[in-house]
Structure 1
Amino acid sequence: MQIRGLLADTRPLQDAHFRRLWQANIVTVVGAQLTVVVVPAQIYAMTGSSAYVGLTGVFGLVPLVVFGLWGGALADAFDRRTILVVTTVGLIATAVAFWAQAALDVGSVWLLLGLFSVQQAFFAVNQPTRSAVLPRLLPADLLPAANSLNMTVMQAGAIAGPLVGGALLPVLGFSWLYLVDSITLLATLGAVVRLPPLPVEGVVTPPGLRSVVEGFAYLRGHPVLLMSFVVDVVAMVFGMPRALFPEIADVDFGGPAGGGLAFALLFAAIPAGAVLGGVFSGWVSRVERHGLAVVLAIVVWGVAITGFGVAVGLADGRAGVWLWLAVAALVVGGAADMVSAAFRTTMLQAAASDAVRGRLQGVFIVVVAGGPRVADVAHGATAAAVGTAVAAAGGGVLVVVGTVAAALLVPAFVRYRVTAAPR
């Protein structure tokens, strides 16, 4: 019984609509993560520079900010099922375009970055809408479990994608892996088409600047929710070293420039930790102090990233034990990040009315997805100046310091609690 209580809470899967979306994601996220891996690998193969890889942060961040905020406003104005269908078709189209540029061997890093921007624009509208739908499908007491289940599947795909991509890149090349992404997205399209109509409940605000401003005004009046964004910015901007993975795999661990075992393990390690955290997430529905749980999880994340940077610095061009220690540190960090994300998502979904939920989720996706994009740029530039090990380890230290400072400045966030749902 104690072991069963630790395993993931699967009650949300009793809802047919949630179950179909969840099952579709099992297939879709693998293909999506192939693209996440292949884009930086293709850029690094073209240029041999982590700085160019870091530019994916710029080309991803701008559409994420603009379309994330606007997408949240759209989700509070139009039927959310329709928005999900349109944006999913757009994601399929951009995946096909990725395949075409690789198959034709265009060889333009700027075209690749441009396609990446278009893809992120569709993603930025799709995700706030998808998150805003969840509280319409499930009762509030099942949201922590549902968010944990969603993150577990997403991160499981993020393991399979890098492992498959890293292993097959030297064999199949870039184009075939992009093609897999475009095909797997059809599963999600089938699931969203079967959703019921999901018009906004309450007063509908026309999408535009005023609507976006109203969403920020709502946050300003809820400092606990605002602080949930702040600590995630600290965690991701300072602590996400993924832009360094191609160079670390190649230079610090002696792998080939176009993929290989070290490359695959580094990209898969954080999602692997998140999956472990999700599999043993049965306890999340019983936690009352969500704010404290977030702070502790982010501190663990920062310590783990610091350990990763130390292992990279000690490797000195060799793999062996240092590679596995680096991977282990990233696994611990991934588990901590999953816990933080599950509680932060639940806090936001439960606190907002349906009429503003899309806009708040738009802000959420800007922070959650935009933070790592800023980190790509910052880590790429920092590594060029001081090396990959110092950039990673120093970022981890800054995560711990920044999170503790935020907790001290806003103690209400640490004290925030909810009544645990009965099990």
Structure 2
Amino acid sequence: MKTLLGRPDFRTLFVALTVSMLAESVLVLALGIWVKDLTGSDGLAGATFLALSTPMLVAPLAGWVVDRIPRRAIFVALNVITAVLLLPLLAVRRESDLWIVYAVAAGYGLSYIVLGATVSALVPELVPADLLPDANSALQTVKQALRLIGPLIGAGLFSLLGGARLAAACAVCFLVAGVVGMMLGRRQRTIEASETPARVTWASEVSAGLRHLVREPALRKVTICSALSMIGLGVGESLYFAYVDQGLGRDAAFLGILVSAQGVGGVAGGLASARVVRRFGEIGTVAVGIGLFALGSLALVQPTLWLALPASVLIGMGLPVSMVGTNTLLQRRTPAHLLGRAATALDALVSGPQALAIGLGAVLVGAVDYRLLFGVIGVAMVFVGGSLWCARRLAPSVSSAVPDDAKAPAAS
């Protein structure tokens, strides 16, 4: 971490992202609380999260934009645009203004997708290949820490300031992040026209990232296994209420303790993930993360308090470990001019099934014993993680040079 923060450009990005991620962690929950406060409806409050995720449908187009514009410029512009985007929330006063909240949520969801792809593509321009695990680990650690404290801060600030003032405070944070981002060095690589093969259709350009994920063996394997693990994680999220109520015999508020335990695990996983990448390689690291999901799910089959907290910590650890392994592999095995499109394609393929799985879990828990479902998820994740572990030699170790075929532009 000290070596990374000694690099001025990464230090600048780290500070800017910390500020913007703080605003994001506060804002996402606050929008749902605001809708609930305006309408009294749990369903309408939940629809806020649907509005946030709807822009995933245009993720491939977002990746194409990231690969066509200098990433430093996109990073700065996105934070400033997001700050401006939040300003209409200052006009929200009553239930009839609900459409403004949903519109802003959808716009922010799109900004979030583009920013994620931009950061994935920008980090390799700021640090050498051997420091990519450390950079991704540092960013994941901050993200997981903010996931732990952000909702508490957001709920507290919403009660203290109200929705409009909280939106203004978040807008200031995004504006500060944009200003800090302007301090990034101007040596970042721009996308040259010669890197784009001539005489290709716009559709083939947009889908190039997806084709790269399918054609590259290591990325294909990790994408499939990550999507399967996120399906298991999504179904599992819908089982927690039954686990707390029927299994532990506690009220729903106890779920907050389990979520906090996941957050603690997330921070620990973020801190440890760079070492795991160096020890087992990127594919092995993703396998370890899925293995942690599996152990946590199997532990939840037996509803006892002494297993509930450790299981939640294990599940929380699994996410950043898997993400750091996946992001590092993507950055090392993808040509620079494709990184934006490949990142958004990977995000859509992994996050989309997870969102659907949450709904599937909500249906299944009403018909099947939650303990059986946790057991099935755990066993399935053992096989998925084991399959990935056996395939870890598909990618060279982090200390190895990027192979020539990953440096050259992929044929479209």
**Residues 189, 303 of structure 1: alpha-carbon distance in 2 compared, 3 angstrom cutoff:** same
Equivalent of 2:346 in 343, 360, 364: 364
Distance 1:417 1:300 in 2: 21
Distance 2:172 2:241 in 1: 26
Comparing 23-32 with 335-344, greater Cα deviation is found at 23-32
Q: Aligned partner of 1:122: which letter?
A: S
Distance 1:419 1:112 in 2: 46
Distance 1:207 1:21 in 2: 34
- In the TM superposition, 1:130-169 aligns within 5 A as 130-167=119-156, 169=158
- In the TM superposition, 1:70-109 aligns within 5 A as 70-98=61-89, 100-101=91-92, 104-106=93-95
Q: Which residue of 2 aligns with 1:217?
A: 211
Contact 1:289 1:416 (C-alpha < 8 Å) held by counterparts = no
Distance 1:237 1:299 in 2: 14
Q: Which runs of 5+ in 1 are unaligned?
A: 1-8, 256-260, 315-321
Q: Aligned partner of 1:154: which letter?
A: K
Contact 1:239 1:399 (C-alpha < 8 Å) held by counterparts = no
Distance 1:345 1:147 in 2: 7
Classify the secondary structure of the residue corresponding to 1:287: helix
Equivalent of 1:115 in 80, 104, 117: 104
Structure 2 residue 183 is matched with structure 1 residue 204: no
Contact 2:300 2:311 (C-alpha < 8 Å) held by counterparts = yes
- Alignment length, in residue pairs? 391
Structure 2 residue 316 is matched with structure 1 residue 338: no
* Deviation, structure 1 residue 107: 6.1
**Residues 143, 12 of structure 1: alpha-carbon distance in 2 compared, 3 angstrom cutoff:** same
Structure 2 residue 373 is matched with structure 1 residue 394: yes
Structure 2 residue 284 is matched with structure 1 residue 292: yes
Q: Aligned partner of 1:341: which letter?
A: M
Q: Which residue of 2 aligns with 1:302?
A: 294
Q: Which has the higher contact order (CA 8 A, sep 6+)?
A: 1
Contact 2:84 2:171 (C-alpha < 8 Å) held by counterparts = yes
**Residues 346, 41 of structure 1: alpha-carbon distance in 2 compared, 3 angstrom cutoff:** same
Comparing 337-346 with 199-208, greater Cα deviation is found at 199-208
Distance 2:395 2:74 in 1: 33
* Deviation, structure 1 residue 271: 3.0
Q: Which residue of 2 aligns with 1:235?
A: 229
Contact 2:232 2:381 (C-alpha < 8 Å) held by counterparts = no
* Deviation, structure 1 residue 149: 0.3
Equivalent of 1:29 in 21, 42, 47: 21
Q: Aligned partner of 1:293: which letter?
A: T
* Deviation, structure 1 residue 398: 2.4
Distance 1:83 1:207 in 2: 24
Equivalent of 1:188 in 154, 177, 186: 177
Contact 1:54 1:377 (C-alpha < 8 Å) held by counterparts = no
**Residues 144, 364 of structure 1: alpha-carbon distance in 2 compared, 3 angstrom cutoff:** same
Deviations 1:52-76 (A, max 9, x none): 565456434431231x211211122
Contact 2:56 2:113 (C-alpha < 8 Å) held by counterparts = yes
Instruction: State the TM-score, normalizing by the size of structure 1.
Output: 0.78
Q: Which residue of 2 aligns with 1:414?
A: 392
* Deviation, structure 1 residue 393: 7.2
Q: Which residue of 2 aligns with 1:279?
A: 271
Comparing 156-165 with 54-63, greater Cα deviation is found at 54-63
Distance 1:82 1:248 in 2: 47
* Deviation, structure 1 residue 360: 0.8
**Residues 97, 179 of structure 1: alpha-carbon distance in 2 compared, 3 angstrom cutoff:** same
Classify the secondary structure of the residue corresponding to 2:195: coil
* Deviation, structure 1 residue 23: 1.8
Classify the secondary structure of the residue corresponding to 1:279: helix
Deviations 1:212-245 (A, max 9, x none): 2222222222122022122222222321355787
Contact 2:130 2:399 (C-alpha < 8 Å) held by counterparts = yes
Instruction: State the TM-score, normalizing by the size of structure 2.
Output: 0.80
Distance 1:203 1:347 in 2: 22
* Deviation, structure 1 residue 189: 0.7
Classify the secondary structure of the residue corresponding to 1:77: coil
Comparing 298-307 with 120-129, greater Cα deviation is found at 298-307
Classify the secondary structure of the residue corresponding to 2:207: helix
Distance 1:362 1:23 in 2: 23
Contact 1:80 1:133 (C-alpha < 8 Å) held by counterparts = yes
**Residues 414, 373 of structure 1: alpha-carbon distance in 2 compared, 3 angstrom cutoff:** same
Identity over the aligned pairs, expressed in percent?
A: 23
